[in-house]
Amino acid sequence: MTPQHLAELKAAKDTLEHPGLAVKITQVLGKPIERGFELLPKTWSDRIGEVTRDALMAAMNGAVLTMRDTAPLVAPAAAPRWHKAVAALTGAAGGAFGLPALVVELPLSTTIICRSIADIARANGESPQALETRLACLEVFAFGGTSASDDATETGYFAVRASLAQAVSDAARHLATHKAAGDGAPALVRLIGLIAARFKLQVSEKVAAQAVPVVGAAAGAMVNLLFIDHFQDMSRGHFTVRRLERLYPPELVRREYAQL
């Protein structure tokens, strides 16, 4: 690999292996989000899981519908600020109305984030309308899920990709022969379930932050900004690796990644 591409791979690894969403939220709020977890009702864990799965399915169906395909050589630069502004507005609403607003706010925020992810994918030479790209955008929500509450399974970038590989392949085969993604097909349900199990960790941290007293609309907007910024970072790392895998044998990219 060229020195430039190695530098890009190193920057991607630094991002993908050190997400730190909870730390950033704590720094902004000025208090540990563990306090927010203590304030959440016990029933909210199951409810967050349900809303998370619904949000991912909505994002898959709607995030890239308005995106125009472009040839890789003329792909426009991503526009993360626009997506951050919209995400901040939804976060402000969530902060103002509290936890009950999550049912409405999270699917909307997730769709905005997914569109931003697709925008970054396009800037890295991928087609937003391609099935492979759409599923790769969904994969981003599974990255950066390490936390104190995570289990003992591998959580590194390539380990997560490997754990999703079969489900992604099955979902791709289904989507290749069906126009709609939301018809409850087992392949899609399984993929969404696997990703949701990891995405739920970040959602729980976001909800806990919004549960802290006196968060309000302004802090709710800031939490959502951190939320979308986190996944924009994950997507930059992910699609940098995918771009390099198109330029070099994937085995070489993974070997260099491990050695950095």
Amino acid at 192: I
Residue 228 pLDDT greater than 70, yes or no? yes
Strand intervals (E) in the chain: none
Residue 217 pLDDT greater than 90, yes or no? no
What pLDDT was estimated at residue 73? 46
More confident site: 252 or 130 = 252
When pLDDT is cut at 50, 70 and 90, the band that residue 158 belongs to is very high
Structure tokens at 252: 């070489």
CB 242 within 8 A of CB 124: yes
Q: What share of the chain is helix, strand, coil (3-state, %, to 5)?
A: 75, 0, 25
**Rounded CA separation 35/123 (Å):** 39
- DSSP-assigned letter for residue 142: G
- State the residue range of the domain holding 171: 3-259
What is the tally of structural domains in the chain? 1
Residue 259 pLDDT greater than 50, yes or no? yes
Residue 160 pLDDT greater than 80, yes or no? yes
Task: Kindly report, residue by residue over 106-149, the tens digit of the pLDDT.
Answer: 888 888 888 889 889 999 999 887 888 888 999 999 997 555 44
When pLDDT is cut at 50, 70 and 90, the band that residue 44 belongs to is confident
**Rounded CA separation 25/229 (Å):** 11
Backbone angles phi, psi at 157, to 5 degrees: -55, -55
What pLDDT was estimated at residue 146? 54
Mean pLDDT, residues 20-46:
72
pTM flag (> 0.95): no
Q: Pick the most confident of 30-39, 68-77, 154-163.
A: 154-163
CB 226 within 8 A of CB 26: no
Q: Pick the most confident of 25-34, 100-109, 178-187, 197-206.
A: 197-206
